[in-house]
Structure 1
Amino acid sequence: MDEWTSKKVSLNEILKEEHPEKEPHFLDDDLVMSKFVTEKDIRAHYQNELENGKVVSNQAGGAREITIDERSLVENRPKVVIDNTLDLTPEDYRKAAFATGIPFRPNGLFPPNDTLLTKLSTDPMYFPFMKHVPCERPHDFVVAPGCWASGDSAAKAGLDVRHFYRFPRNGCDHGELHGAVRAGEGAAICLHGYTTAHGGSIETILDECTAEIAKCEFAPTATTINFKVNLKKPFPLHRTCRILCKIKSISSNKLRIVTTGEIYDAEDDTLLVTCEAELVDIARISANTQEMQNKMKSNGAVNRWNGM
């Protein structure tokens, strides 16, 4: 045992004697000897001076007491919301999303009179909308609250994406998603060090946008299962970029869809990123799975069914 570790063990024994009220929360020697535990941590533990929920821990980066909102647990999702996903249509989704539009974002990253955003906003052929999710009302949706990848919460974190839907034109079978996006400091590789956006933040933009066009055209419960991206050029911070997402194909059984996405520099139209995403209608797959389970159960074969 080295001198520093020995001092920590001795300090722990002294503080145990001085603070008997901390029992049964005395620190054990194995924990005290950890390289991640300091003398300051030991003193703060016994003197009740640890802040922000911190606890003495042998974990890199430390640990703190965590309180989880029970509503965030998967098993606590309201059953009525799950049931309401089974017969939703793209028309339902567009109706709700278009009615909301894009309200003011207190943490928005777009300046006044942005050329691209103004053009999309003032052209009646483009319908602004935000990400919505199913709710407790049949055939209806609500704006996704606190979403990491969309809305004002995403803008606060460093990505401000504005979606616009355009109905099919020129003989096309499907509509398109057009959009404007700006990446702020929160999306940077390194704040004030690398003045370009992190690849993961760029991929997030297209992951979200390809899913949104799928929800508008294919199924509101479309869920990404495969995503391929090509980062062609550095993605600048605080510079408006243009988004275009399209439908590439829909499977004959209407369970899968492939979408494509591109992002361009809005100033010189340089292609920055391309992607292709594959999504499935998770509600229909779940319904089909349940139907098959019920059939097999009625035939006495439920134990041989493992789901999908």
Structure 2
Amino acid sequence: MDESTIRLINLIDVLSEKYIDVPEISEECMNTWSTEQITYYYESGGTNKPSSLNGMASQGHDQPGGSVEQTEDPAAHRNTPASARANQFAATVAGYRAQTIADGLPSRPHGLFPPRDPLLRELAEDPTAHPFEKHLAGEHSPYELLRNGSWTSGDEAAQAGFDMRLFYKDKQRDDRYGTILGAARLGDRASIGNGYWMSAHGGAVESLLDEATAELGKMEFSPMLSTIEAGFKIKKSVPLHTTLRIECEIREIKGMRCWVDGYVKDLSGVLLASCLAQLVDLQQLWAAQGQSP
């Protein structure tokens, strides 16, 4: 009998004497449980037995990472009210563009931009560039400013480390479509590892492009659309707490689909990341499927 087995038997003897009402563990358990798991079993009065999933019982969890009782009803997020559904069908590109520009870009108390940011100042001074924030069709209007923000929009996003401010730039004389320009900053919560001296997480960078390309699609193609395909390329590490330049342009519109190019650059113009997003017009798709409000 080796020393580790002897120590384990001695531990069980000590715990059995201390917790006399706890059923003894089997020889199989003795051979598979760690000393921490055996100790926890006795200390819990025999109610917590180690699972085959590592570390659950020894940490007092019913599953890896623990659990929290969930009260949200998933169906509540899928069942669109009739009035909101009607507004989804009623929304138009011209209406979306007019309302978002009229509403402008609300203040963000938890924003990540410093005072007098040079890129924001440049964009704000361009009379053909209009700051705006994402809208969605809701119960009261086809174009509603998001009251509680989203993953990528509003002060709630900024508080979570994602602050992107978009401007719709009017189409110029020889252009078929307008474009999107913007400024963005990613904070600690958008990092690969908060507190570990690293750059922005790739998912956060891709979210910049996903959101910006979709908003240009809504301004020029359809206010009700969905990204169905996107190819992302991250050329260089994207730094945190640094102002980034966002640019988007329509590549092609054909039928119920639209293709938008998006770019993230540093202030010297160096390309950090790019994507080509393909979006589908949901209003046309619903009509083709025979759906109605």
Do they superpose with TM above 0.5? Answer: yes
Query: Kindly tell me: are residues 183 and 9 of structure 1, through their superposed partners in 2, closer, same or farther at Cα, counting changes over 3 Å?
Result: closer
Residue 35 of structure 1: how far off its partner (Å)? 3.5
Query: Kindly tell me: are residues 67 and 242 of structure 1, through their superposed partners in 2, closer, same or farther at Cα, counting changes over 3 Å?
Result: same
Query: Kindly tell me: are residues 72 and 246 of structure 1, through their superposed partners in 2, closer, same or farther at Cα, counting changes over 3 Å?
Result: farther
The answer for the alignment partner of 2:70 in structure 1 is 66
CA distance in 2, matches of 1:174, 1:156: 33
Residues 230 and 278 in structure 2, CA contact (< 8 A), matched pair in contact too: yes
1:252-280 alpha-carbon deviations (Å, 9 max, x no partner)? x2x100000111101x2111111100000
CA distance in 1, matches of 2:150, 2:53: 41
The letter of the residue matching 1:286 is: W
Query: Kindly tell me: are residues 187 and 35 of structure 1, through their superposed partners in 2, closer, same or farther at Cα, counting changes over 3 Å?
Result: closer
The answer for the alignment partner of 1:96 in structure 2 is 99
Residues 131 and 144 in structure 1, CA contact (< 8 A), matched pair in contact too: no
The answer for the alignment partner of 2:290 in structure 1 is 290
Q: Which runs of 5+ in 1 are unaligned?
A: 15-26, 42-55, 294-308
The answer for the alignment partner of 2:4 in structure 1 is none
CA distance in 1, matches of 2:270, 2:54: 52
1:112-150 alpha-carbon deviations (Å, 9 max, x no partner)? 111010111122211000011001235433326330111
Residues 49 and 57 in structure 2, CA contact (< 8 A), matched pair in contact too: no
State the superposition RMSD in angstroms.
2.4
CA distance in 2, matches of 1:11, 1:238: 48
The answer for the alignment partner of 2:57 in structure 1 is 37
Tell which structure's C-alpha radius of gyration is larger: 2
Residues 243 and 262 in structure 1, CA contact (< 8 A), matched pair in contact too: yes
Aligned length: 260
Q: For 2:218, which of 202, 211, 215 is the aligned residue?
A: 215
Q: Which runs of 5+ in 2 are unaligned?
A: 1-28
1:7-60 alpha-carbon deviations (Å, 9 max, x no partner)? 54444447xxxxxxxxxxxx575769974113x73xxxxxxxxxxxxxx40x11
CA distance in 2, matches of 1:210, 1:128: 15
Residue 231 of structure 1: how far off its partner (Å)? 0.7
Residues 227 and 277 in structure 2, CA contact (< 8 A), matched pair in contact too: yes
The answer for the alignment partner of 1:243 in structure 2 is 246
Q: For 1:163, which of 162, 166, 190 is the aligned residue?
A: 166
Query: Kindly tell me: are residues 118 and 7 of structure 1, through their superposed partners in 2, closer, same or farther at Cα, counting changes over 3 Å?
Result: same
Query: Kindly tell me: are residues 6 and 33 of structure 1, through their superposed partners in 2, closer, same or farther at Cα, counting changes over 3 Å?
Result: farther
CA distance in 2, matches of 1:193, 1:28: 36
Q: Secondary structure in 2 aligned to 1:239? A: coil
The answer for the alignment partner of 2:10 in structure 1 is none
The letter of the residue matching 1:65 is: E
The question of 1:192 aligning with 2:195 is answered yes
The question of 1:132 aligning with 2:135 is answered yes
Query: Kindly tell me: are residues 224 and 31 of structure 1, through their superposed partners in 2, closer, same or farther at Cα, counting changes over 3 Å?
Result: same
Query: Kindly tell me: are residues 212 and 13 of structure 1, through their superposed partners in 2, closer, same or farther at Cα, counting changes over 3 Å?
Result: same
The letter of the residue matching 1:211 is: A
Residue 188 of structure 1: how far off its partner (Å)? 1.1
CA distance in 1, matches of 2:49, 2:189: 41
Query: Kindly tell me: are residues 30 and 115 of structure 1, through their superposed partners in 2, closer, same or farther at Cα, counting changes over 3 Å?
Result: closer
Residues 197 and 237 in structure 1, CA contact (< 8 A), matched pair in contact too: yes
Residue 160 of structure 1: how far off its partner (Å)? 0.7
The answer for the alignment partner of 1:259 in structure 2 is 260
The question of 1:276 aligning with 2:276 is answered yes
Q: Secondary structure in 1 aligned to 2:290? A: helix
Query: Kindly tell me: are residues 238 and 11 of structure 1, through their superposed partners in 2, closer, same or farther at Cα, counting changes over 3 Å?
Result: closer
The letter of the residue matching 2:175 is: C
Give the TM-score normalised by the residue count of structure 1: 0.77
Residue 159 of structure 1: how far off its partner (Å)? 1.3
Give the TM-score normalised by the residue count of structure 2: 0.81
Residues 51 and 57 in structure 2, CA contact (< 8 A), matched pair in contact too: yes
The answer for the alignment partner of 1:176 in structure 2 is 179
The answer for the alignment partner of 2:235 in structure 1 is 232
CA distance in 2, matches of 1:196, 1:30: 38
Query: Kindly tell me: are residues 5 and 265 of structure 1, through their superposed partners in 2, closer, same or farther at Cα, counting changes over 3 Å?
Result: closer
